[in-house]
Amino acid sequence: EIVLTQSPGTLSLSPGERATLSCRASQSVSSSYLAWYQQKPGQAPRLLIYGASSRATGIPDRFSGSGSGTDFTLTISRLEPEDFAVYYCQQYGSSPLLTFGGGTKVEIK
């Protein structure tokens, strides 16, 4: 089973600042099958990024994903008020187990 470790656990930033979230895998994620989701309180998760760097439909271009192998990054170039939420990475290349990271909370400083 591939274990995903997200860091930091909490990121305290101000609107307009840049956010950099890390997701590290215990072994290589095949074909960059890595996705990122955003979850706000009381809501279901929403897909942001798939294939490590492709934005899902309707996702603003301030969200970007990068990385390969075992190290992946989600960057939010300029935080908007609605971006304060919890972010999860997920690998989907290891069958049949699909695993999530523990999440990073982006909170208002």
Partner 1 sequence: EVQLVESGGGLVQPGRSLRLSCAASGFTFDDYAMHWVRQAPGKGLEWVSGISWNSGTTGYADSVKGRFTISRDNAKNSLYLQMSSLRPEDMALYYCAKGNKLGITGSYFDCWGQGTLVTVSS
- 59 interacts with partner 1 by CB under 8 A: no
- Give the closest residue to 74 by CA, choosing from 99, 103, 98: 103
Query: Which one, 17 or 56, has the nearer CB to partner 1?
Result: 56
- 64 interacts with partner 1 by CB under 8 A: no
Question: For 83, phi and psi rounded to 5 degrees?
Answer: -90, -5
- 99 interacts with partner 1 by CB under 8 A: yes
Tokens 């840049």 belong to 18
- 44 interacts with partner 1 by CB under 8 A: yes
Q: Which of 19, 35, 74, 79 binds partner 1 (CB under 8 A)?
A: 35
Q: In one letter, which amino acid is 35?
A: A
| Separation CA 94–CA 92 (nearest Å) | 6
Q: How far is the CB of 51 from partner 1 (least distance, A)?
A: 8
| Separation CA 53–CA 89 (nearest Å) | 12
Q: Give the footprint of partner 1 on this chain (CB under 8 A).
A: 1, 31, 33, 35, 37, 39, 44-47, 50, 56, 88, 90, 92-93, 95-103
